[in-house]
Copies of this chain bind each other. A is one copy, B any other.
Amino acid sequence: MPVGDVDTPALLLDLDAFDRNLRKMAEVSRRTGVRVRPHTKTHKCPVIAMKQIELGAVGQCCQKVGEAEILVAGGVRNVLVSNEVVGDRKLLRLAALARDAEIGLCVDAPEQVEAAGRAAREFGVELAALVEIDVGMTRCGVAPGEPAVALAKQIAATRGLRFGGLQAYHGTAQHLPTWGEREAAIAIAVEKTRATVAALAAAGLACPIVGGAGTGTFQFESTSGVYNELQVGSYVFMDTDYARIGGKTSNRYDEFDHSLFVLATVMSRPTADRAVVDAGLKSYSMEKGVPWVHGLDDVEVTGVSDEHGRLRVGAGAKPLKLGDKVWLIPGHCDPTVNLHDWYVGVRNGRVEALWPIAARGCSH
């Protein structure tokens, strides 16, 4: 089917750009010797997970037990929930997965170590428990250094658990506007992590995983000599939020190609300077701003409602008529993907693949 025949709104994946992004990150891993553990929260799709693993990724990380369930059912055999898991029901679901796959989770409180151990023993499995340390994002995590060592010791002494290492992700650094600001933020994170790894070593505890990094900062973690796993997600798709930050040598971060688009149809042409498309904030996430129009000169999104996108059509624009298709680049890829049930994979103007977004809505 030609792309022009795809009914809208649809989530398109440009397979050439997508393949380039996947290979580029695999090459980073080969060059630096640092493992890649891509983040499922971005793509929510076991098909994509398996492609990443085929290119050398060690497994996947994810934020929720529901995502881990989809991954294991889809054939992934090494899953880290890079997040705290609270509640016995969720912990038991996670422990059940450890019968079929290597499963890890993060902890930042003593009672959570106990609860995870109980769940693992219930299923006769072993879970890798990583201590999350706060390296600068002030979200979850214990302080680096001694508090982390205390929790690691508790893990090592808990039946059903093994100490899995450190979760040291600096989320707020990912979108700092300039390369230099991101480098400086991660330099601080690296020192906190290095000191914690050393304190753990002094206590006789080695870190199988020292994980963190995202698409905005992996260049720094991957060459830090401390981190050994990169939890990159958005690099497979890109979005305007990442495109807007500065690169190493340019004002725009263009390490990766835009591969993700929302395909929309012009549904109204009320005036010469206004067109309305049939995709709104139920087809792309809006908290990072309106989407960019791809490949059309002098056309931009000026307003969005539930099911409409309003376009300003400038004097320099080509004619745009009812039924014409418009490619939109979402502001934020992860929550945009979570609104759709399928990727429509396209190459050379034709539909080549339909991949289910199997973990869509799996926030539980």
Residues of A that sit less than 8 Å from B by CB: 7-10, 41, 63-64, 83-87, 89-90, 108-109, 111-112, 134, 138-142, 171, 265-270, 274, 276, 278-283, 285-287, 303, 305-308, 310, 322-323, 334-335, 338-341, 361, 363-364
The contact of A83 among B7, B9, B307, by CB within 8 Å, is B307
Known contacts A83-B307, A281-B287: does B363 contact A270 (CB below 8 Å)?
Answer: no
B276 touches A139 (CB 8 A): yes
A323 — which chain B residues lie within 8 A by C-beta? 86-87
B307 touches A64 (CB 8 A): yes
The secondary structure that dominates the A interface is: loop
B7 touches A269 (CB 8 A): no
A363 touches B139 (CB 8 A): no
A308 touches B139 (CB 8 A): yes
Closest Cβ of chain B to A274, distance in Å, is: 7
A111 touches B307 (CB 8 A): no
B306 touches A334 (CB 8 A): yes
Residue of B nearest to A305 (CB): B171
A86 touches B266 (CB 8 A): yes
Known contacts A86-B278, A86-B322, A306-B63: does B109 contact A268 (CB below 8 Å)?
Answer: yes
The 7 closest A-B pairs by CB, nearest first: A286-B287, A140-B268, A86-B267, A63-B307, A84-B267, A282-B363, A282-B338
A335 — which chain B residues lie within 8 A by C-beta? 281-282, 306
A274 — which chain B residues lie within 8 A by C-beta? 138
